Amino acid sequence: MHDTRLLAALLAAALLSACASTPKPAEAPAMPLASSGCDELQAALSRADAAANAAQDRQKNAWQAVVPVVVAARYASAKSDAESAARQRTTLQAQAAELACPLNPTREG
């Protein structure tokens, strides 16, 4: 009887976590150096910063979910998105440095 309750609770948690997951935005591919101008790099860097900010906000707000499994899933997803945005930011900054682009100050980590 106790095993049935545990199984039902785990099944309910799994179903709730599936409903509560948020879709990930597609990561924009890094532009090749030859076709990237400074303006495009600045715009892409701004988008990467916005993605990082959104991911960090989701990380900070993960506790608001009721089911602990959902919290862990949302936190892991947001952490992955933040790491992806940081990698993209690093790539874009390297491209900007190669082109000697004067970039506007942006978010720093």
Domain spans of the chain? 33-109
Q: What is the pLDDT of residue 24?
A: 53
Q: d(Cα 42, Cα 55) in Å, to the nearest integer?
A: 20
Q: What is the pLDDT of residue 86?
A: 94
Kindly write down the DSSP assignment for every residue of 22-58, as one continuous string: -PPPPPPPPPPGGG--HHHHHHHHHHHHHHHHHHHHH
pLDDT mean for each 10 residues of the chain (109 residues): 58 56 52 69 93 91 72 89 94 91 69
